[in-house]
C-alpha cells in the first residue's frame, strides 16, 4: 500500500504535523472556552449591574424589540412576570399606556427618539394613580454603530411631593411675610436696606427696587437717626424696643411708627446688620388725640350750665377732630314738627341763621330725628339732593357738599341734632361719622342740662316779672287792701290805701 511505502522520516513528519494540529485544535478549543466563559461573565456582570440599580432599565434594539430589562422595571410599571416572559413589545406597550395620564405624549416621545437614534432624552411621566417617574434615554452603541436604545425609569414621586410641599411652604411663608400686619425690613452693616416686605413698601409708597440699597435713615425724619443706627451697628447702642419714630413716605408726608430692632450676627457674634418690625401707629395716635380732646370737651362743657358757653367751649375742640366749614346745633320743637337753630359756627346759609327755625319735612335733619341714627351724606350733584331731601337744596346751593348729622339723645329722647358741613366733595367718611356719634353722645346730656337750666332761668325770670306786676297792682289799687291772719287777727300785708 501507498502508506506502507512511506519512510520513517515521512511518518515522523506527519506525526509531528498531526501533533501540531492537535495542539492548535486544543488551543482553539481553549480560546473558545475562554471566550464563552468571558461572555458568560460579561452577561453575568451586565445582569448583576442592571439588577442592582435603583432605576428600572429597559433595552430595545433598533426595531424597538425588547432585548433585556431588570426586575425594577417590571416592579415600577407593575408588569406581571407572565407578561414580561412573552417579551412582546406591543403587549408591554399596551400595558404601560393604560397607566399614564398622557399616553399620546408618551408614544409621541418614543416615536421621536426612534426617528432620531443618536438623541439623548429626559422627561417626566405622570401616572393616573399620582406617581411621577423621570425617564432617561440614550442610544446603545457597539463601537461606532447604534444598535439599540436604553431606557431608564426612576420613581421620583416622594421627592416631587416633597418639592411641591416645600414650594407651597415657601409660597405660604412669603405670603405671610409680605402680607404681615407689620412692616419688616433688614439693613446691613453699612445701613443699607437689603430686605423689605410688601407691608413696609405699602406704608412708605416705594417699590421694592427703590427701597433695596437705600440707607435706612433716609426714610426717618429724626435728625439723630443716622447716628443712632451706626451706633447700634457698632455695638455702642443696644437695639430698640417699642421705639416711636416718625417716617417719611415717598410723597413727602410723615407718619408715626413703632419700631422693634433685632441684631443680625454671624457665628462669631459679629454684627452683620439689623432687622426691624415697623407698625404704623397713625390710628393709635389718632384715637389717643380723639380721647384726649373728648375728655377736654367733657371737662369744658361740664364746668358750666350756660348754654352759650357750652356751645362756644366745645366748638373749638371739635374742630381738632372733624374739619368743617359750618357747625350747627338744632333743637327739636316736637309740638309743631320743627327745629330751632340754637347755634351756628362758620358759613352762613340763607334761611338757616341762628335763632331761626324750619320744618323737618324733606330735610336730612328730619330723617336723623325720625331714625335716631347718624347720617353721612356726600351728594355728587343737586339732583341727588333734591331726590332724597327736597327741602335741603339751599344747603347744597350754599356750597356744602359733604354733610354729617347726628341725633342728640338725652334720657332716651331726641333733643336735637349736631350738624357738620364741608365745602369739599367727599370730605367725610364712616370714620368721621363714628367719631361724630361719640361727640354727640358726650355733649347731648350737657346740652340738655344747659337747656333745662336756661328754661328754669327763663321761668324764674318770668315768675319774678309776674310777681313785680302783681305787687305794682297791689300798691296802686284804688281801695285799701289788706291780708289778715285769721287765727291771730294780725295784718300780714297792707297797701298804701
The radius of gyration of the chain's CA atoms, rounded to the nearest angstrom, is: 51
Instruction: Answer whether 307's CB lies under 8 Å from 451's CB.
Output: yes
What is 54-160's CATH topology? Beta-Lactamase (3.30.450)
pLDDT at 296: 80
Query: Cell numbers 519512510 label which residue?
Result: 7
Architecture of domain 286-456: 2-Layer Sandwich (3.30)
- Would you give per-residue pLDDT tens digits along the chain (497 residues)? 444 444 556 555 655 555 555 566 657 666 666 656 655 665 566 566 677 777 888 888 888 788 888 889 899 999 998 888 887 778 888 888 999 999 999 989 888 888 888 899 899 999 999 999 999 989 888 888 888 888 889 999 998 888 888 888 888 888 887 888 899 999 999 999 999 999 999 999 999 999 999 999 999 888 778 888 999 999 888 887 788 899 999 999 999 999 999 999 999 999 999 999 999 999 888 888 888 888 887 776 666 666 677 777 778 788 888 999 999 999 988 778 899 998 999 999 988 998 899 999 999 999 999 999 999 999 999 899 999 999 888 899 999 999 999 999 988 889 899 999 999 999 999 999 999 998 888 878 777 666 655 565 666 666 666 666 666 665 665 666 566 767 777 765 666 65
What are the backbone angles phi and psi of residue 452, rounded to the nearest 5°? Answer: -65, -40
Q: Is 96 within 8 Å of 77 (Cβ atoms)?
A: yes
pLDDT at 437: 92
The position carrying cell 350756660 is: 306
pLDDT (0 to 100) of residue 30: 65
Q: Return the CATH fold of 179-280.
A: Beta-Lactamase (3.30.450)
448 in helix, strand or coil?
helix
Specify the pLDDT at position 163. 87
H/E element, 33: helix 8-52
pLDDT value of residue 87:
78
Boundaries of every domain in the chain: 3-47, 54-160, 179-280, 286-456
Place of cell 408726608: 253
* φ/ψ of residue 334, rounded to 5: -70, -20
Domains 54-160 and 179-280 share a fold: yes
- What does the alpha-carbon distance between residue 192 and residue 199 come to, in Å, rounded to a whole number? 19
Amino acid at each position: 500500500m501507498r502508506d506502507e511505502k512511506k519512510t520513517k522520516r515521512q511518518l515522523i513528519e506527519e506525526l509531528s504535523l498531526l501533533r501540531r494540529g492537535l495542539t492548535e485544535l486544543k488551543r482553539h478549543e481553549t480560546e473558545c472556552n475562554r471566550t464563552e466563559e468571558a461572555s458568560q461573565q460579561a452577561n453575568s456582570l451586565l445582569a448583576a449591574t442592571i439588577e442592582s440599580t435603583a432605576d428600572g432599565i429597559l433595552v430595545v434594539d433598533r426595531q424597538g424589540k425588547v432585548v433585556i430589562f431588570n426586575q425594577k422595571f417590571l416592579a415600577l410599571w407593575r408588569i406581571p412576570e407572565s407578561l414580561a416572559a412573552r417579551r412582546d413589545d406591543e403587549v408591554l406597550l399596551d400595558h404601560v399606556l393604560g397607566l399614564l395620564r398622557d399616553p399620546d405624549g408618551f408614544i409621541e416621545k418614543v416615536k421621536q427618539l426612534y426617528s432620531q437614534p443618536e438623541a439623548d432624552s429626559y422627561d417626566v411621566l405622570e401616572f393616573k394613580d399620582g406617581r411621577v417617574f423621570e425617564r432617561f434615554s440614550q442610544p446603545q452603541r457597539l463601537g461606532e454603530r447604534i444598535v439599540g436604545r436604553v431606557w431608564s425609569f426612576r420613581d421620583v414621586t416622594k421627592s416631587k411631593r416633597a418639592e411641591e410641599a416645600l414650594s407651597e411652604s415657601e409660597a405660604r411663608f412669603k405670603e405671610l411675610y409680605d402680607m404681615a400686619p407689620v412692616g419688616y425690613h433688614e439693613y446691613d452693616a453699612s445701613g443699607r436696606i437689603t430686605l423689605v416686605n410688601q407691608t413696609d413698601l405699602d406704608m412708605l409708597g416705594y417699590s421694592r427696587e427703590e427701597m433695596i440699597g437705600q440707607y435706612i435713615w433716609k426714610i426717618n425724619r429724626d435728625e439723630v437717626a443716622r447716628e443712632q443706627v451706626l451706633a447700634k451697628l457698632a455695638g455702642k447702642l443696644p437695639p430698640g424696643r417699642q421705639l416711636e419714630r416718625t417716617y417719611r413716605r415717598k410723597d413727602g408726608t410723615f407718619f408715626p411708627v413703632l419700631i422693634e430692632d433685632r441684631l443680625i450676627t454671624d457665628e462669631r457674634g459679629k454684627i452683620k446688620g439689623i432687622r426691624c418690625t415697623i407698625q404704623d401707629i397713625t390710628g393709635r395716635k389718632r384715637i389717643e388725640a380723639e380721647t384726649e380732646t373728648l375728655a377736654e370737651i367733657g371737662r369744658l362743657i361740664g364746668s358750666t350750665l350756660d348754654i352759650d358757653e357750652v356751645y362756644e367751649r366745645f366748638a373749638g375742640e371739635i374742630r381738632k377732630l372733624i374739619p368743617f366749614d359750618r357747625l350747627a346745633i338744632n333743637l327739636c320743637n316736637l309740638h309743631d314738627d320743627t327745629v330751632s337753630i340754637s347755634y351756628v359756627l362758620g358759613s352762613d346759609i340763607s334761611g338757616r341763621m341762628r335763632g331761626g327755625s324750619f320744618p323737618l319735612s324733606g330735610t336730612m335733619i328730619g330723617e336723623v330725628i325720625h331714625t335716631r341714627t347718624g347720617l353721612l351724606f356726600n351728594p355728587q350733584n343737586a339732583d341727588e339732593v333734591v331726590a332724597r331731601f327736597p327741602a335741603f337744596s339751599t344747603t347744597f346751593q350754599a356750597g356744602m357738599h359733604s354733610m354729617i348729622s347726628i341725633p342728640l339723645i338725652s334720657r332716651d329722647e331726641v333733643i336735637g341734632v349736631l350738624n357738620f358741613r364741608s365745602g369739599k366733595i367727599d370730605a367725610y367718611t364712616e370714620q368721621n361719622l363714628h367719631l361724630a356719634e361719640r361727640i354727640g353722645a358726650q355733649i347731648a346730656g350737657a346740652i340738655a342740662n344747659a337747656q333745662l337750666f336756661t328754661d328754669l332761668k327763663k321761668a324764674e325770670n318770668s315768675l319774678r316779672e309776674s310777681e313785680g306786676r302783681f305787687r305794682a297792682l297791689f300798691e296802686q289799687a284804688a281801695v285799701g287792701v289788706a291780708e289778715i291772719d285769721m287765727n291771730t287777727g294780725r295784718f300780714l300785708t297792707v297797701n298804701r290805701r
